[in-house]
Structure 1
């Protein structure tokens, strides 16, 4: 039965309509408009008040302690695309950023249609680019003091695998890291649960994986792992927002840990929900995939010149 996307709905039905609208996202091409619209996801946002911040406010008449609520929510920071053909980023406006260059011309998979030959490596290019919707929405909302600003800049290319050919195409030097050589370390999914999709290390573009979606997801996880850390042996821009009084940005993403990040599928279809990998596979006809990478931020409205401390409802202080 076809899905009808309503243009006008009663107030109480808008959350349901939002899910339907996101499900009606483009299946042929991914553009900036559909990426921006994807931020309207309560499931991914996960907004909540988590504590209280204490500030010291001083005036010519004396000093007093003020309080403000401490909030926590996820922000879509990056659009991470994983695709087989070099220069064919599913995000149509960004394809020129990843055009083939010397040393990074080819692409595709080392697989055959033979069902008995599913043990050959797949190759994926990966781009990690600043999320336009996350940046725009939080710049406006953060002015109220009850939402946190994104630490990522819209449209900024934090990672382009074509510029990282030594590490992404040849695995140098990470092919020789202990994480790459010892089974059971840094895996997406778990061997014991029978849902292990692949290793995070070596963080390169090749993976032996029969399922195209799963291979692409592992590549996205690898790129996100690099981008959210400093000093990695890759050509990239680290996404490391700086903490300040009343502002606590996220740390590095960790596979299998939903408290550090979530993924929202954007291509081949826009989904209204977020999850960590492993998740339900959705196969792409052209070997291209894209996700929004959401990470958790905490912040509180400034109510004085000096930040004293904060208390979380679940225990602990900072």
Structure 2
């Protein structure tokens, strides 16, 4: 019988309890408590001291230069759900947000039991909703030193494919972009490595892919690609935090590039580690999947009125 993940208050977690929690098996339903607890993953957080910031502090007695440590760590910003049946988001409390509406009331896969045919497209709805565990991840980061603030808002619906039916269900104008028409562009995985799962473009809900997990992952990547960019021809709310003194939010996610993002599987089971696609497939019985999208932030504590510059240990400067 599947075992449900138990929610434990984040600040009271011990290492053993955390490892047991994150290693738990498939859950009957994905809820807010288990999503929040999943953010307490040191593997996904990847906290690191990366440089030094320089500030100018002025008082009535004069001015001096002060320094602060520059840190970098990942933050879970979004829960990205990818599922076949419209209105059946695996995150149970948020399922009502994506109920069927006019023009987006169907779902499912065009598949056949004939094992000699695997060239029919699968369809997935995708929702991107603000991760409720950003606070928990920040608390975990603060145990190592200074922590960066997330640019995402918990429970905010950044993308609901049911509201984006023209692009997500009809491919307009996605199907006419060069990335959609030229083979080999923007691929998840690599043909040479024989692990190519699909193309990012066109960023709609259909894909010819015999593996259900891989199809769902490609859809999640497509939606993440949209949400982390401005001015895309979709109905969505961009997740593009603004840079400020001593605070460097992430840029858009790029497939195959772990420096821009990482995925943590939440459904059909919660995994304790993060990765990028391609990853090891875990099949869902009902065609529903969910991941946490983690992105990297860099920041340093303000130590003066004026930010001068920062130096990274790897030779970079800003």
TM-score (norm. length: structure 2): 0.94
Match of 2:84 in 1: 84
User: Structure 2 CA distance, aligned partners of 1:252 and 1:27?
Assistant: 31
- Does 2:34 correspond to 1:31? no
User: Structure 2 CA distance, aligned partners of 1:310 and 1:256?
Assistant: 28
User: Structure 1 CA distance, aligned partners of 2:6 and 2:258?
Assistant: 32
Number of aligned residue pairs: 312
Match of 2:240 in 1: 240
User: Structure 2 CA distance, aligned partners of 1:136 and 1:247?
Assistant: 20
User: Structure 2 CA distance, aligned partners of 1:154 and 1:23?
Assistant: 24
Match of 2:64 in 1: 64
Contact 2:45–2:137 (CA under 8 A) maintained in structure 1: no
TM-score (norm. length: structure 1): 0.94
User: Structure 1 CA distance, aligned partners of 2:261 and 2:137?
Assistant: 18
SS of the residue corresponding to residue 69 of structure 2 reads strand
Match of 2:134 in 1: 134
How far 1:23 sits from its partner (Å)? 1.6
Which runs of 4 or more aligned residues in structure 1 lie more than 4 Å from their structure 2 counterparts after TM superposition? 5-8, 139-142
Match of 2:42 in 1: 42
- Flag structure 1 segments of 5+ consecutive residues without an equivalent: none
**CA gap 1:265/1:6 in 2 versus in 1, 3 angstroms:** closer
User: Structure 1 CA distance, aligned partners of 2:130 and 2:272?
Assistant: 20
Contact 1:75–1:294 (CA under 8 A) maintained in structure 2: yes
Paired residues for 1:1-318 under 5 Å: 14-15=14-15, 17-24=17-24, 26-135=26-135, 137-138=137-138, 146-318=146-318
**CA gap 1:267/1:26 in 2 versus in 1, 3 angstroms:** same
- Deviations along 1:208-238, one digit per CA (max 9) or x if unpaired, are 0000000000000000000000010000000
How far 1:184 sits from its partner (Å)? 0.5
- Deviations along 1:81-119, one digit per CA (max 9) or x if unpaired, are 000000000000001100000000000000012211211
Contact 1:187–1:255 (CA under 8 A) maintained in structure 2: yes
